[in-house]
A and B are shown apart, each in its own frame.
Chain A
Amino acid sequence: MSGERGNVIIIGGGHNGLVASFYMARAGFKPIVLEARPMVGGMAVTEEVWPGFRCPTLAHTGGPIRAEIVRDMALERHGLRMTQPKARVTSVSPDGGSVTVYDDPAKTAQHLAAVSARDGKSFTEFQSILNRLGKIFAQLAGNTPPDIDSPSKDDLFRGVSTGRMIRKLGKQDLYRLLRWAPMPIADLMDECFDSDLLKGALAARAIFGSGVGPRSPGTSNLLLLRCADDLNVAGSASFPIGGTGALTQAMAQATTAAGTTIRTNAEVAGITIKDGRVTGVRLTTGEEIAASAVISNADPVRTLLNLVDPVHLTPTFLQHVQQYRSSGVVAKINLAVDGLPKFPALEKREDRDVLYPGRIHVGPSMNYVERAFDFSKYGEFSREPYMDVMVPTVSDPSLAPSGKHIMSVYVQFAPYALRTGDWKTRAGEFADCAIKTLSAYVPDLPNRILHQQVITPAEIESTYGSTGGHIFHGELTLEQFFTMRPLLGYARYRTPIKGLYMCGSGTHPGAGLTGRSGENAAREIVKDLR
């Protein structure tokens, strides 16, 4: 049937684009994925940054990708091998203290009980509440947001089914859900826990990638949303052997096998439209490709303001797109190091070998993280940033030459729009600042650094194509969530232009490397095109 109606083009070969293309292909269409870069994967890529060092350049953990997608795409058959470290995250302090959230909640509770009796007890309770509430969010994340103006039968059915699920929660959990969602994560953490190290790490998961601090209202919602795909409160530490790029490579193989054509080095310059309907795309080379439908995995601003000629959209709609908030706050530093840098806080622990493969959180208290955020409000990068560190070579030594390691560091806050200077001139100063901060936790780091790569928000925009350098294609605040993502009235993967769809992180549910946006989008698009 797709042959009669022409091609389906997917702009961008990020993980959501690949997932969407797979489901389109499986439904009988012949999708073409157009990727501007020489390799697919978007922000989940492994690149040889220095000879012999293959870095997970941006994302360093797998979201985790949704189990159904792994199964449907048979990613394991296509070469994916995931590792799940026993320790999810260890929060370290400069004075050598540390707290770990393990893969096993019971073990975490036992470990925390040694730090504070209350925390041990509350952790078990908190985790069990999240297990219950997370399911609701999983249901929401897996559904297409309803059409508010004229709900369809399906919308009503899904609404009723979610409603039933919510009702099953019982009164106490329901109120918890209503009360927690708009709360600042700092208040929620204070209600539940004592340990600053623990609170710092959990609060950080909620605000990761967003221009908010632990005290910003609505940040608890982000934690709940993230629990849709990973019930562990500390977040994922799952790592694909071969780096996150191995995940998207497996996806590329799977979708190709299903019938998708992938073209790399094929940058889309514009979407061609006639009489309010998509006719195809034009590449930067001038080549035009006709299509009956175009699915954009690019972010909403890039898709609707850069790739579409504004004459096809109403002024109000354009204004709303312009107001879409997508100013990134995260930068990435990748280090090639000689030997494994030692964190004294981890060295003190008996189970240190279990801790190194997990993530290491630098941001020893909520106030620390909040202060890091303060800088970004005034257009400055944090003097003492909060950092999410991973040493992928512990899990997969093949990523670096023997005896060498890669240290992958997410640094927040690094606001896209600097008030003085620009990222080009200030990247070095920024990296120095981050490495100096990190050295307080890993004193032998500076002497071990062989190479460093700094990916500023400006580069996330220019190289990876995300407007404002936002790693989630737009802020995940309450006003850009669910039926409002990316815009109220356009949360169902469709746009005002017939035949133009969106499937990236800028659409519901959007957070991180889960593949849900791509999966949801494909489901809706198949419905329309049939």
Chain B
Amino acid sequence: MRCSGDCGDCVCYNTGVSFRSIKMTNQTTNNKFDAIVIGGGHNGLVNAAYLARAGKKTVVLERRHVVGGAAVTEEIFPGFKFSVCSYVVSLLRPEIIRDLDLPRHGLEILPLDGTFTPMPSGDYLWRVNDHGKTRREIARHSRVDAEAYEEFGKAMLQMCKFVKPILSMTPPNPTTLKPSELMKLLFLGRRFKDLPEDDKYNQVQLMTMSAIDFLDQWFETDVLKATMSASGIIGTFLGVRSPGTAYVLLHHYMGEIDGAFRSWGFARGGTGAISNAIADAAREAGAEIRTKAGIAKILVKSGKAIGVVLENGDEIFGNVISSSVDPKLTFLKMLDRNQLPDEFVSSVEHYKFRGSSAKVNLALDSLPDFTCLPGRGEHLRGAISISPSVDYMERAYDDAKYGEYSKRPYIDMVIPSLTDPSVAPPGKHVMSCFVQYAPYHLASGNWDEKKEAFGDTVIDTLSQYAPNIKNIIVGRQVVTPLDLEREWGLTEGNIFQGELSLEQLFFLRPVPGWAQYRTPIKNLYMCGSATHPGGGIMGAPGRIAALEILKDWKA
């Protein structure tokens, strides 16, 4: 097994190599593989790593010059390295970290401590991982809420424990009578039945309610609810009052680092470092990774996928094609409609993307100075959230509903250079601003025209809380939903490769009847965020898809 990287120990490491694949490797040239993975985002890489570890000769084909997809670090301005798209990590499945031994491949997660919410009134809310401190801080706003906060944390932990196994399972097929599928459904039913009554009640509410209606039952402090509800809308085209957002809240609450629930962190070197570590693990297991290898077509012969044609015309053949790009690209661009059942094509066409977020990455000369808590303090080391009230959040959504970007958007900021100085020149900083709502579909004009005006809106919004911001910006990169689509292949700029709405979750993700990573074309699989359990730097779709592919291989 040849390794394209320069690690020396890959052969002995790869103990799972079967005799058959070694033989194949020796016989074939560099355009024939056991498995071809389309797209070198984190899921594609995870998928490839698992396949390679099972002894399959695997190649990852990435259109861009760099792997990582939306989990990528790029030097946009000299000396300033940005996690251009996704910027924090928490959901990365512990079994993947373990199986792929990612820390050995350079993964290091630095803690992101706290969420700081400045308020226009001059006050602020600053929650940190230290229980006592957070309790005192919340009590400053409401004593009742300080009590409830502890209880809330405990209840959410129970809910996370309930949902967690679902993140690692292949969704059942609810339409078949196959015993194995029925067992899965029964397993879910039993788990629910066995929950204590209170948890059952909470679980039902979480699956159906809006983030605010849910939080209203626990808290009275407006700013606390606003900031907490923000996790319920990230990446969705819903408002904090839209039913179903409580689930997304849970989805983000499930973050886990070193076994600690709810912790979020930075990867040293930016989110690209995560992708690099996974890529490294994949290479070590024997996978080959090719960049600047965009795919034009998937080759199909008598209903079976047999290979791909690159944009440069090269043909590469494989026994299995695993696509980590979204369903629209996979089925409507890389395949011809007439190769697929009509019903399936129409399901793919109905699959909703509707990106709603953008990024503004800033290179800073010094640190922002917040009026409500001046100076360089610990509060800058965590997340900084512009979510001063529930109404503010909801009004931001109202703008988007009618095709405009929010006049006053929700912004989630981090300054990773404070924790990881390697990403900026000495004394300088990078600041990552995740902005919502920036609807892909604008009612008038287009994103290329509106890009800089949108950037100005974000900076204007920030300057209301940190007036010095305008003077310290030395570089500004605006990444619009259209940019996400064009540069990162995320259709309609959806960061999760499709909305995490109830009708697109679990056995309905990405489309009804095809939630088990397989497709109507034999040997063609899906392994990206568009499959269960969805987006975020989680890696679960890539891993579960690999396990399913290997299951079919054995059969």
Contacts and interface: CB of A to CB of B under 8 A. Distances in A.
B243 A217 contact: yes
B506 to A, nearest CB: 10
A41 B508 CA distance: 44
B98 interface: no
A2 interface: no
B359 interface: no
Contacts of B197: 316, 488-489
A182 B244 contact: yes
Contacts of A179: 503, 508, 512
Contacts of A215: 242, 401
Contact of B243 (A149, A218, A316): A218
A171 B511 CA distance: 13
A176 B217 CA distance: 33
Contact of A175 (B175, B241, B398): B175
Interface stretch (A8-16, A46-54, A124-132, A477-485): A477-485
B503 A180 contact: yes
A347 B252 CA distance: 55
Contacts of B137: none
A175 B174 CA distance: 9
Contacts of A371: 402
Contacts of B394: 377-378
Interface in B368-413: 391, 394, 398, 401-402
B238 A217 contact: yes
Contacts of A181: 503
B401 A370 contact: yes
Contact of A479 (B209, B398, B401, B507): B209
Nearest to B176: A171
B209 A477 contact: yes
Interface stretch (B3-11, B18-26, B86-94, B199-207): B199-207
Interface in B191-241: 192-193, 197-198, 200-201, 204-205, 207-209, 213, 217, 238, 241
Nearest to B350: A191
A488 B242 contact: no
Contact of B175 (A174, A187, A488): A174
A439 interface: no
A320 B243 contact: no
A437 interface: no
A447 interface: no
Nearest to B192: A148
Interface residues of B, number: 35
A178 interface: yes
A172 interface: yes
A488 B209 contact: no
Nearest to A322: B217
B352 interface: yes
Contacts of A378: 391, 394
A488 B208 CA distance: 13
A489 B200 CA distance: 10
Contact of B501 (A217, A323, A487, A488): A217
Nearest to A172: B343
B155 to A, nearest CB: 12
Contacts of B513: 171, 175
B243 A478 contact: yes
Interface in A450-488: 477-479, 484, 487-488
Nearest to B398: A374
Contact of A477 (B175, B201, B208, B352): B208
Contacts of A316: 197-198
A256 B350 CA distance: 54
A183 B352 CA distance: 11
Given A217-B501, A367-B402, A477 B243 contact: yes
A325 interface: yes
Interface string B295-337: 0000000000000000000000000000000000000000000
A495 interface: no
A477 B175 CA distance: 26
Interface string A309-327: 0000000100010010100
A71 B398 CA distance: 48
Contacts of A216: 242-243
A212 interface: yes
B169 interface: no
Interface of chain A: mostly helix, strand, loop or mixed? helix
Interface string B489-507: 0000000000001110001
A478 B350 contact: no
A175 B512 CA distance: 6
A325 B508 contact: no
A479 B200 CA distance: 12
B512 A488 contact: no
B174 A182 contact: no
Interface of chain B: mostly helix, strand, loop or mixed? helix
Nearest to B212: A377
Interface residues of A, number: 37
Contact of B208 (A180, A479, A489): A479
A489 B350 CA distance: 36
Interface in A137-154: 148-149
A12 B217 CA distance: 30
Interface string A212-239: 1001111000000000000000000000
Nearest to A215: B401
Contacts of B204: 479, 484, 488
A266 B448 CA distance: 69
A217 B238 CA distance: 9
A148 B193 contact: yes
Interface string A46-69: 000000000000000000000000
A206 B158 CA distance: 34
A148 B174 CA distance: 19
Nearest to A317: B197
A183 B238 CA distance: 12
Interface in B499-547: 501-503, 507-508, 512-513
Contacts of A178: 174, 503, 507-508, 512
Interface in A290-331: 316, 320, 323, 325
Interface string B231-261: 0000000100111100000000000000000
Contacts of A191: 350
A187 B198 contact: no
Nearest to A180: B503
A182 B502 contact: yes
Interface in A270-300: none
A488 B507 CA distance: 24
A316 B193 CA distance: 19
Nearest to B217: A323
Contacts of B201: 320, 487-489
Contacts of B200: 148, 488-489
Contacts of B238: 217
Contacts of B241: 377
A90 to B, nearest CB: 26
Contacts of B213: 325
Q: Which of A181, A478, A487, A489 has most B Cβ within 10 Å?
A: A478
Contacts of B242: 215-217
A191 B213 CA distance: 29
Interface in A179-217: 179-183, 187, 191, 212, 215-217
A215 B192 CA distance: 29
Interface of A: 148-149, 171-172, 174-176, 178-183, 187, 191, 212, 215-218, 316, 320, 323, 325, 367, 370-371, 374, 377-378, 477-479, 484, 487-489
12 contacts: A178-B512, A183-B503, A217-B243, A217-B502, A218-B208, A320-B201, A371-B402, A477-B208, A478-B208, A479-B209, A488-B197, A489-B200
Top 3 A-B pairs, shortest CB-CB distance: A175-B512, A182-B502, A478-B208
Given A148-B200, A149-B193, 17 more contacts: A148-B192, A171-B175, A178-B508, A182-B244, A182-B503, A183-B501, A216-B243, A217-B238, A217-B501, A217-B503, A218-B244, A316-B197, A323-B217, A367-B402, A371-B402, A479-B207, A479-B209
